[in-house]
A and B are shown apart, each in its own frame.
Chain A
Amino acid sequence: MNGMFSHLIENYQACVAVVLFAIGMCMLLFDKNLLKKVIGLDIMDSGTFLLLADRGYITGRSVPIISDGVTDMAHYINPLPAGLVLTGIVVSVSVSALMLGLTIRIYNKYHTLNMDALYLIMSNRRKGGRI
Chain B
Amino acid sequence: MSFVQNFPFFSIILCLLCAVVTFVAGDRWGRRLTVALLSVSIVLQGCVLWFCAHNNISYAYMMGHFPAPWGNEIMAGVLEPLMALVFSVVMLLSVLGGMRHIEHDIGDGSRALYWVMVDLTLVSLLALCYTNDIFTGYVFIEICTIASCGILCARESGRTLLASMRYMVFSLVGSGLFFIGVVYLYSVTGQLLFPQLLETVGAVWQNGAYRPAVTIAVGLISTGLAIKSGLFPFHTWLPEAHSQASVASSCILSGVIVKGYAFLLIKIIYRAIGPAVYYATGVQNILLVLGLGGMVICSVSAIRARHLKVMVAYSSAAQIGYIFMGIGMGTQVGMLAAILQVINHALTKSMLFLSAVQLSDASQRHMDFPHLRGAGHRDPAAGILFTAGALSMVGVPLFAGFIPKLYFAQEAFSLGWQRWPVLLALVASTVLNVLYFLYTAVLIWLPQEEGCTCRRIKAHWDEKLPAFVLLALGLAMGIHSAPLTALLRQGFALFSRY
Interface code B350-377, partner A: CB below 8 Å = 1, 0 otherwise?
0000000100100001111011000000
* Complex interface: chain B residues within 8 A of A118 (CB): 162
Interface code B186-224, partner A: CB below 8 Å = 1, 0 otherwise?
110010100000000000000000000000000000000
Contact B183 A95 (CB under 8 A): no
Contact B162 A122 (CB under 8 A): yes
Contact B168 A29 (CB under 8 A): no
* B146 contact from A55, A78, A80, A95, Cβ within 8 A: A95
21 contacts between A and B (CB under 8 A): A21-B176, A25-B173, A25-B177, A28-B172, A48-B176, A51-B180, A51-B184, A51-B187, A52-B186, A80-B192, A81-B186, A87-B135, A94-B142, A94-B146, A95-B172, A95-B175, A99-B172, A103-B165, A110-B158, A122-B158, A122-B159
Interface on A for B, CB 8 Å cutoff?
A: 21, 24-25, 28-29, 34, 37, 41, 44-45, 47-48, 51-52, 55, 78, 80-81, 84, 87-88, 91, 94-95, 98-99, 102-103, 105-106, 109-110, 115, 118-119, 121-122, 125, 128-131
* Complex interface: chain A residues within 8 A of B135 (CB): 84, 87
Q: In the complex, what's the smallest C-beta–C-beta distance from B59 to chain A, in angstroms?
A: 25
Q: In the complex, what's the smallest C-beta–C-beta distance from B410 to chain A, in angstroms?
A: 39
Q: Roughly how many angstroms separate A34 CA and B175 CA in the complex, as a whole number? A: 19
Q: Roughly how many angstroms separate A14 CA and B422 CA in the complex, as a whole number? A: 40
* A55 contact from B176, B183, B357, Cβ within 8 A: B183
Contact B360 A131 (CB under 8 A): yes
* In the assembled complex, B419 has its CB within 8 A of some CB on chain A: no
Contact A48 B179 (CB under 8 A): yes
* In the assembled complex, B139 has its CB within 8 A of some CB on chain A: yes
Q: Would you list the 7 A-B pairs with minimal beta carbon distance, nearest first?
A: A129-B368, A55-B187, A91-B142, A52-B183, A129-B366, A48-B180, A44-B176
Interface of B is mostly: helix
Q: In the complex, what's the smallest C-beta–C-beta distance from A40 to chain B, in angstroms?
A: 9
Contact A91 B139 (CB under 8 A): yes
* Complex interface: chain B residues within 8 A of A44 (CB): 172, 176
Q: How large is the interface on B (under 10, 10 to 19, 20 to 34, 35 or more residues)?
A: 35 or more
- With A41-B172, A109-B161, A131-B365 known as contacts, the answer to whether A95 contacts B142 (CB < 8 A) is yes
Interface on B for A, CB 8 Å cutoff?
A: 135, 138-139, 142, 145-146, 149, 153, 158-159, 161-162, 164-165, 168-169, 172-173, 175-177, 179-180, 183-184, 186-187, 190, 192, 306-307, 309, 357, 360, 365-368, 370-371
Q: Roughly how many angstroms separate A122 CA and B160 CA in the complex, as a whole number? A: 11
Q: Roughly how many angstroms separate A131 CA and B306 CA in the complex, as a whole number? A: 12
* Complex interface: chain B residues within 8 A of A78 (CB): 190
- With A94-B142, A130-B365, A131-B365 known as contacts, the answer to whether A29 contacts B169 (CB < 8 A) is yes
Q: In the complex, what residue of chain B is closest to A97 when comparing beta carbons?
A: B146
- With A87-B139, A130-B365 known as contacts, the answer to whether A28 contacts B183 (CB < 8 A) is no
* Complex interface: chain A residues within 8 A of B183 (CB): 48, 51-52, 55, 84
Q: In the complex, what residue of chain A is closest to B69 when comparing beta carbons?
A: A80
Q: Roughly how many angstroms separate A79 CA and B182 CA in the complex, as a whole number? A: 17
* Complex interface: chain B residues within 8 A of A98 (CB): 146, 149, 168
Q: In the complex, what's the smallest C-beta–C-beta distance from B264 to chain A, in angstroms?
A: 16
Contact B307 A129 (CB under 8 A): yes
Q: A29-B173, A41-B172 are in contact. List 12 more A-B contacts (CB 8 A).
A: A29-B169, A41-B176, A44-B172, A52-B183, A84-B135, A95-B146, A95-B175, A110-B158, A119-B162, A122-B158, A129-B368, A131-B366
* Complex interface: chain A residues within 8 A of B366 (CB): 129-131
Q: Roughly how many angstroms separate A115 CA and B457 CA in the complex, as a whole number? A: 40
Q: Roughly how many angstroms separate A64 CA and B177 CA in the complex, as a whole number? A: 29
Q: Roughly how many angstroms separate A98 CA and B146 CA in the complex, as a whole number? A: 7
Q: In the complex, what's the smallest C-beta–C-beta distance from B245 to chain A, in angstroms?
A: 11
Q: Roughly how many angstroms separate A25 CA and B176 CA in the complex, as a whole number? A: 8
Q: In the complex, what residue of chain A is closest to B309 when comparing beta carbons?
A: A131
Q: Roughly how many angstroms separate A128 CA and B363 CA in the complex, as a whole number? A: 13
Q: In the complex, what's the smallest C-beta–C-beta distance from A58 to chain B, in angstroms?
A: 12
Q: In the complex, what residue of chain A is closest to B179 when comparing beta carbons?
A: A48
* Complex interface: chain B residues within 8 A of A29 (CB): 169, 173
Q: In the complex, what's the smallest C-beta–C-beta distance from A110 to chain B, in angstroms?
A: 7
Q: In the complex, what residue of chain B is closest to A54 when comparing beta carbons?
A: B187
Q: Roughly how many angstroms separate A55 CA and B142 CA in the complex, as a whole number? A: 23
Q: Roughly how many angstroms separate A81 CA and B53 CA in the complex, as a whole number? A: 37
Contact A34 B176 (CB under 8 A): no
Q: In the complex, what residue of chain A is closest to B153 when comparing beta carbons?
A: A102
Q: Roughly how many angstroms separate A47 CA and B184 CA in the complex, as a whole number? A: 12
Contact A106 B169 (CB under 8 A): no
* Complex interface: chain B residues within 8 A of A109 (CB): 158, 161
* Complex interface: chain A residues within 8 A of B173 (CB): 25, 28-29
Contact B179 A88 (CB under 8 A): yes
- With A95-B146, A129-B306, A129-B368 known as contacts, the answer to whether A106 contacts B162 (CB < 8 A) is yes
